[in-house]
Amino acid sequence: MEEREQGTTAYVAWKNQQAYVAWKRKNSIARITLLSCMQDDLMCEFEEYETAKGMWEALKDKFGATSATKLRRLNQKLNDYKKRPNQSMRQHLRIMSNMIRELKNAGQIMSNEQQVQAVLRSLPESWDHMKIQMTHNENVKTFEDISRHLELEDERIEASKSFNEAKFASSNSGLKRKKGNMGNKAPHQSELKRPKKYAKRDKNGGKKDKTKMKCHKCNSLGHFARECTEAKK
C-alpha cells in the first residue's frame, strides 16, 4: 500500500475512516450488550436507538434520574397499593418491600414507623382485627416485625379454612349416606305398616267352606253365625 504523507487530505480521510470503523464496531458491541440485558418489552422500546450512548442516556432518563415527579409517583404507588384477594400475605409483603426499596434507591428513605404504617394501610377490611392488634402492639417496630406477625396470622387463617372445608365435606358425606340408608329402608317399612286383610282359615290353614259350616244360631248350613238373620232355635 502506498504510504500517505501526514497532513495531507488523503491521510486525514484515511485516519477518520479507520477511527469510524473502530467506533462502529465498539458501538455495535455496546448496543448488543445493553439490549441483551433487557426484557423483551424494554428491548422493543430501546432498540430504535442507533448509538449505545443514546440508548444509555434514554435508560438513565427513564430509570436512573431522580426527580420530584418520580418521587411523587413512587409514593403514590405505595400509598395506593392494597393486598389482592388472590395473593398470599408473603407475596403481598414482598411487593411492598420492593416498593420501599425503589423509594430508597430514588433517595427517599422511609423510617421504620412509616414502613409499618404503609403495611397497615395496605391491608383489606377483612384484616381490620390485625390492624387494631398491630397498632397497639409496642413490640411491632419494624417492617420485619409486622411481616412476621401477618405471615403467622395468614398461615393460621389458611389452616382453619382447610379444617372447616374438610369438616364440611365429611358432614355432607355422612348426611348423604344416612339419606341413602333411609331410602333403602322406606319400602320395607311401608310394607310393615300396611294393614293386611286376613281371611278365615280352618285348622289346617286353608280357607273355611261356608257350605259345610253350621250356624250356631239357627243350626243351618251355609252361613256363619254373624250372617244369620234368624233367631237361634
Dump pLDDT digits (tens) for 23-73.
999 999 999 999 999 888 888 888 889 999 999 988 877 776 667 888 888
The answer to whether 150 and 119 are in contact (CB under 8 A) is yes
The stretch 156-162 carries a mean pLDDT of 86
Spatial CA neighbour of 36 closest among 55, 21, 23: 55
Phi, psi angles (nearest 5°) of residue 129? -60, -35
> What beta strand segments (E) does the chain contain?
none
The C-alpha cell that represents 11 in the structure block: 491521510
Q: How confident is the model at residue 10 (pLDDT cuts 50, 70, 90)?
A: confident
**What is the reported pLDDT for 198?**
46
Residue 195 has pLDDT above 70, yes or no: no
**What is the reported pLDDT for 179?**
65
Sign of CA dihedral 187, 188, 190, 195: positive
Residue 204 has pLDDT above 70, yes or no: no
Phi, psi angles (nearest 5°) of residue 201? -125, 155
Is this structure's pTM higher than 0.75? no
Residue 15 has pLDDT above 60, yes or no: yes
**What is the reported pLDDT for 232?**
47
Measured between alpha carbons, how far is 166 from 160 in angstroms, rounded to an integer?
10
The stretch 181-185 carries a mean pLDDT of 61
Residue 88 has pLDDT above 90, yes or no: yes
Q: At what angle do helices 89-105 and 112-122 cross, to 10 degrees?
A: 140
The C-alpha cell that represents 144 in the structure block: 420485619
DSSP code at position 5: P
Domain boundaries, the chain: 9-64, 68-164
Phi, psi angles (nearest 5°) of residue 154? -65, -40
- Residue 9 makes CB contacts below 8 A (sequence gap 6+) with none
**What is the reported pLDDT for 107?**
86
Residue 180 has pLDDT above 50, yes or no: yes
Question: Cell 396470622 appears where?
Answer: 153
